[in-house]
Amino acid sequence: MSYLFAAYLWKKQEYAPLTLGSVWRGAEPRFAGEELVHVAVTPKVMAAFYFSGNFSTKSEAFAYACETMLLDGWAESPAEERREAGDFEFRYFVWLSSDMFEYDVAVSYDGAGFEGRALIDGQGERVVVDEGVVKDYELANTHVDPAEFGADGEDDEHFDEDAYSEALSEREKPFSPGGWIYDVLGVSRQQVILALHKAWDEKGKTLWPEGGAQDTPELRKELEAGDSCAPDLPMWSEWGEQYVPKEKPAEKPVPAKKNARAKEAKPAKKAKSAKPAARKKS
Q: Please indicate, yes or no, if residue 253 is contained in any of the structural domains.
A: no
Q: Please indicate, yes or no, if residue 251 is contained in any of the structural domains.
A: no
Residue environment code for 151-166, b if the CB has 16+ CB neighbours within 10 A, otherwise e: eeeeeeeeeeeeebee
40/174 Cα distance (integer angstroms): 28
pLDDT at 242: 95
Q: Which domain holds residue 106?
A: 5-242
Q: Name the domain count of the chain.
A: 1
Q: Please indicate, yes or no, if residue 197 is contained in any of the structural domains.
A: yes
Rounded to the nearest angstrom, the gap between the alpha carbon of residue 251 and the centroid of all alpha carbons in its chain is: 34
Q: Please indicate, yes or no, if residue 133 is contained in any of the structural domains.
A: yes
pLDDT at 4: 93
3/236 Cα distance (integer angstroms): 25
Q: Please indicate, yes or no, if residue 106 is contained in any of the structural domains.
A: yes
pLDDT at 101: 67
Give the single-character DSSP code of 266: S
pLDDT at 19: 87
Q: Please indicate, yes or no, if residue 258 is contained in any of the structural domains.
A: no
pLDDT at 135: 97
DSSP 134-146: EEEEEEEE----G
Nearest to 57 by CA among 18, 133, 2: 2
Give the residues of the chain that fall short of pLDDT 50.
Answer: 258-282
Backbone angles phi, psi at 169, to 5 degrees: -60, -40
- Cβ atoms 274, 264 nearer than 8 A: no
Q: Please indicate, yes or no, if residue 150 is contained in any of the structural domains.
A: yes
Q: Tell me the whole-structure pTM to 2 decimals.
A: 0.83
pLDDT at 1: 56
Q: Please indicate, yes or no, if residue 142 is contained in any of the structural domains.
A: yes
- Cβ atoms 151, 263 nearer than 8 A: no
pLDDT at 45: 97
pLDDT at 256: 54
Nearest to 32 by CA among 225, 220, 212: 220
